[in-house]
Amino acid sequence: MKKLFLLTMLGLASAITLPATAQLNVSINIGSQPQWGPSGYNHVDYYYMPEIESYYYVPTKKFIYYSGNTWVHTRSLPTRYRNYDLYSGPKYVINSPRPYMQHNVYKVKYSKHKPKYVQHHNVKQHHVKHKGNNGHGGKHKSKGGKHDNRRH
């Protein structure tokens, strides 16, 4: 009878401890997020930067951008974006696998931020309001009154 009682108690004790072994797996990557990323997120997989149509993958600390016919994964942005300010540019958190494979979806979703760093003939396009001839630059007018942004 003692053996039956001990076996019952042992079985009861193991049944009580089984639920305690189940653990909740929560992934938090606060420490690995870059300082320029948006704050307030416990977990981030990707940032999408619509102005440069690029992604940043937080776990590997790599930028992802389209070049040629492929998505490139590198530790830094390409030279065409060297003047892009990561701190002030808009960024969106995306926690789905490989969002760049559905780039058109995110491009449309965040289309209010049109790319500012469009490259034509290896010259970054930018717009400066005309301030007159007071020595502060501005656009130059060519014949016909149209703006001429060529370097002089």
Domain ranges of the chain: 35-128
Q: What is the pLDDT of residue 65?
A: 97
Beta bridge partners of 119: 124
Q: What is the pLDDT of residues 30-73, one digit of tens each?
A: 558 999 999 888 999 999 999 999 999 999 999 999 999 999 99
Answer whether 13's CB lies under 8 Å from 19's CB: no
Q: How far from 130 is each of 12, 85, 97, 127, 133, CA to CA, in Å?
A: 83, 24, 45, 9, 9
Which residues make Cβ contacts (< 8 Å) with residue 137, sequence separation at least 6? 128, 131
- pTM of the shown model: 0.58
Radius of gyration of the CA atoms of the chain, in A:
27
> What does the block give as tokens for 36?
């320029």
Q: So what's the pLDDT on residue 64?
A: 98
Q: What are phi and psi of 66, to 5 degrees?
A: -85, 130
List the chain residues with pLDDT less than 50: 18, 20-21, 119-152
Residue in the block written with tokens 């469009």:
118
Q: Which pLDDT score, from 0 to 100, does residue 140 have? A: 39
